[in-house]
Amino acid sequence: MDILQLDRQGFILVPAFLSADECDAFIGMYDREDLFRKTISMERYRFGAGEYKYFTYPLPARIAEIRRAVYPLLAPVANRWTDSAFPDNHEDFLAVCRDHGQTLPTVLMLKYGPGGHNTLHQDLYGEVYFPFQLVLFLNEPGVDYTGGEFVLTEQVPRAQSKANVLQPRKGDMLVFTTRFRPGPKGKVNVKHGVSPLHSGTRHTLGIIFHDAAS
């Protein structure tokens, strides 16, 4: 993982982070209601078109393992970007969230069908947030679905917006900024979303490191 890419572009793509079997196993979790605390219809809230579900605690072991393992790789960059003091390990960071009334898990799984999309947004769930998050891609573009590109937009101070359009493959992991990245003229505001699917079904697993306010 080339951490310096976060400074240059605000995201890192890690190819083949999950095996095909792991992806299929995660997709198989989607219909297990005991694993989730809340289901959101995106149309209802004008977030786009599709559905997502927030996991409940305890998280499935593999998801908890990924969150614990990746967090300490990103914490030093988070401290540098924000001039803050994020703890070295994820459990201590969750304790900070709890101290601010943020106790609900924000790890989620998203499902889109034809026409499904996600409007540009930032995943901020309370006063405390971690500057980076992950999305793991569980279907193969061009095989399981068409369209559905991952979009990151940058609002550069005193300039036009820029869009990065990505189409990761099944098993890839994207690390990207939650809110901004540093730029030569100040903070560059970043939002993310998903372009409309033309056909098929697309699942992703979103791993957000901070909890939500209860």
The CATH number assigned to the domain holding 116 equals: 2.60.120.620
Are the CB atoms for 130 and 209 separated by under 8 Å?
A: yes
Res 182 pLDDT > 90: no
CA distance 160 to 136: 29
pLDDT of residue 7: 83
Q: Each residue of 130-151: pLDDT tens digit?
A: 999 999 999 999 999 999 999 9
What mean pLDDT is predicted for residues 116-126? 95
What mean pLDDT is predicted for residues 62-77? 97
Handedness of CA 19, 14, 190, 114 (dihedral sign): negative
Number of domains in the chain: 1
Q: State which residues form the domain around 149.
A: 4-213
Closest CA to 207 of 115, 42, 88, 73: 73
Residue 76, CA distances (Å) to 11, 71, 108, 124 in order: 15, 9, 25, 20
Q: Each residue of 191-201: pLDDT tens digit?
A: 999 999 999 99
Q: Each residue of 38-54: pLDDT tens digit?
A: 999 999 988 999 999 99
